[in-house]
């Protein structure tokens, strides 16, 4: 089943007084490009985060955002700096003494100073809890992301099958036209030979060259067979469970090459018109393939 490279997934996990929310967003990219924004306490797990994502995704530009919230039963996220509190308290007592102030030092006086409160650093057990929640939330987010990408992949597949089938039907018409035009090409070949034979200065080598060129232009059967083979492989690849975006892109290049060759060799306005329509369908296929993992 094919999957789109664009999607979004969100996962949450709570344990031990912490709740971690992870959001994963993916965009088109030739390779797997992962960037993450996570709490400082688990930034050292960046490589582990990438390993989890790599086990779920093959291609795409991946953006990961993680947020940590403390539940009501957990410790507050800030604490006081005891050294700063003692230093400021002693300083205020000295100032009060020197200024001969009788009023006692109040808490509000201490709160006027910066550095009294600071963000509390999680201990090892809390970091383990946060990481546990992070892995669970990330798994949930990537699973939901892949569900969305698979759903979009189904729509992409239907559109691709329609376009590829259209090219295949067009090629069958071109094949029939190529057979029907053989008598006309043969007649032109005979007329060309007669005119050359009537020339007293006929060059045998030139005659052979002219015949070879006309015969080569007349025969587009080989290109048609290769094109039909590429179209068949394309449809088979759509049924593959493995990521096939790169393979489909390669097949698009091969299909385009054969269409160009047929159009150039046919030397027929009706066939050329069919080839133009086929290339229009191929361009739509290329745009869709760019979004396939």
Sign for the CA dihedral angle at 147, 230, 160, 259 comes to positive
Question: What is the pTM (predicted TM-score) of this model?
Answer: 0.68
Sign for the CA dihedral angle at 248, 249, 250, 255 comes to positive
Alpha-carbon distances of 270 from 25, 124, 266, rounded to whole Å: 47, 75, 9
Q: What pLDDT digit, counting tens, does each position of 46-66 carry?
A: 999 999 999 999 989 999 999
The answer, yes or no, to whether residue 281 has pLDDT greater than 90, is yes
Give the confidence band of 146 by pLDDT, cuts at 50, 70, 90: very high
Count CA atoms closer than 13 A to 273's CA, side-chain side: 4
Q: Give the residue-averaged pLDDT of 103-123.
A: 72
Q: What are residue 98's phi and psi, to 5 degrees?
A: -65, -30
Q: What residue has token string 């230093």?
A: 87
Q: Could you tell me where the beta strands, DSSP code E, fall in the chain?
A: 7-15, 18-27, 32-37, 60-70, 78-80, 117-119
| 2 and 157 Cβ atoms separated by less than 8 Å | yes
The answer, yes or no, to whether residue 13 has pLDDT greater than 60, is yes
14-23, 168-177, 209-218: least confident range: 209-218
Give the confidence band of 112 by pLDDT, cuts at 50, 70, 90: confident
| 60 and 5 Cβ atoms separated by less than 8 Å | yes
| 91 and 61 Cβ atoms separated by less than 8 Å | no
Q: Exposure of 286 by Cβ count < 10 A (0-12 exposed, 13-18 middle, 19+ buried)?
A: middle
């Amino acid at each position: 089943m094919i999957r789109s490279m664009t999607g979004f997934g969100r996962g949450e996990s709570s344990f031990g007084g912490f709740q971690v929310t992870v959001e994963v967003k993916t965009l088109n990219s030739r390779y797997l490009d992962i960037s993450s924004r996570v709490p400082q306490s688990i930034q050292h797990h960046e490589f582990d985060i990438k390993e989890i994502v790599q086990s779920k995704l093959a291609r795409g530009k991946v953006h990961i955002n993680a947020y940590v919230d403390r539940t009501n039963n957990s410790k507050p996220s800030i604490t006081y700096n005891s050294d700063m509190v003692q230093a400021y308290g002693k300083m205020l007592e000295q100032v009060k003494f020197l200024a001969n102030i009788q009023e006692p030092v109040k808490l509000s006086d201490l709160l006027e100073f910066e550095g009294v409160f600071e963000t509390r650093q999680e201990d090892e057990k809390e970091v383990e809890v946060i990481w546990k929640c992070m892995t669970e939330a990330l798994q949930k987010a990537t699973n939901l992301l892949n569900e969305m990408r698979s759903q979009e992949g189904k729509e992409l597949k239907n559109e691709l099958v329609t376009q590829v089938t259209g090219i295949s039907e067009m090629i069958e018409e071109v094949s029939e036209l190529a057979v029907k035009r053989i008598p006309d090409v043969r007649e032109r070949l005979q007329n060309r030979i007669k005119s050359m034979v009537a020339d007293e200065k006929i060059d045998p080598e030139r005659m052979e060259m002219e015949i070879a060129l006309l015969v080569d232009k007349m025969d587009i059967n080989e290109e048609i067979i290769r094109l039909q083979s590429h179209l068949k492989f394309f449809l088979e690849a759509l049924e593959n469970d493995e990521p096939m975006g790169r393979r489909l892109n390669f097949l698009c290049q091969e299909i385009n090459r054969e269409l160009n060759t047929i159009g150039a060799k046919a030397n027929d306005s009706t066939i050329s018109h069919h080839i133009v329509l086929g290339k229009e369908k191929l361009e739509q296929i290329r745009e869709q393939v760019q979004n396939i993992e």
